[in-house]
Amino acid sequence: MSTQGNRMRGALFGDQLRNFKDAIVYNGTYEITNGTIKPMEDRWRKNPAELSYQMGFGKNTIIQPMDTETGPVLPNYLAIGQLPRSSDPSEKFDVMGIVLFVEEKPSQALIGQARTINVAEVVLMDHSSQQPLTVSTWDDLANLASEALLVKAQSLEPVGFTALKVSTHKGFSMTTTMSTEVILSPTGSEWLL
């Protein structure tokens, strides 16, 4: 919604409903990037205040929550040792760490109806735990992991991940969500030392 009060409709179809359900909350405010904008027929507009365009959500779409007064919600990084080993499935956590390992080439995971998706594992470490943390990155983030994060692993520079969920698929680990952003140069990384 713009400051002028204009509204644009967004459309989710099929698997997208399940994929984006945790990223969007009713009446929330968001910054949406990489959504597709296309004209919408007037017959689908519910009132004249709606723009004559609609937004589509694809695998490259990133949805970040916004505070209506202060703008983007900044990451609230937790130390790896502070992450809860079990949590409500809707809870998301921000984590920063030194990249120890990145799969050079994403593997293929079979999901749904004979559909494959890229997945790559990233291993992080910080000062708070002797146990490294594995983060499973999915789809386009898996491609990013196998490119940009390899450079970070070689230089032992910190990387931030936002909106991760707890996973117990292979023991305790974290997994990316539709709201996850990989921050290659996070601020406040001095606490890692």
What are the structural domain ranges in the chain? Answer: 7-72, 77-192
pLDDT bucket at 1, cuts 50 / 70 / 90: very low
For the segment 56-77, what is each residue's pLDDT rounded down to a tens digit? 777 667 777 776 676 666 788 9
Interval 156-168: pLDDT, tens: 888 999 989 998 7
* Fold designation for 7-72: OB fold (Dihydrolipoamide Acetyltransferase, E2P) (2.40.50)
Reported as a pLDDT band with limits 50, 70 and 90, residue 124 is very high
- Residues listed for the chain: 193
CATH architecture of the domain formed by 77-192: Beta Barrel (2.40)
What is the reported pLDDT for 125? Answer: 93
Strand partners, 164: 93
Task: Encode pLDDT of 13-58 as tens digits.
Answer: 666 666 666 667 666 777 777 778 888 777 777 777 777 788 877 7
* DSSP characters over 43-74: GG-SSTTEEEEEEE--TT-EEEEEETTTEEPP
Neighbours of 145 (CB within 10 A): 29
Q: What is the model's pLDDT at position 51?
A: 76
Interatomic CA distance for residues 62 and 31, integer angstroms: 8
Residue 132 phi/psi, 5° resolution? -65, 160
Contact, 134 vs 119, CB < 8 A?
no
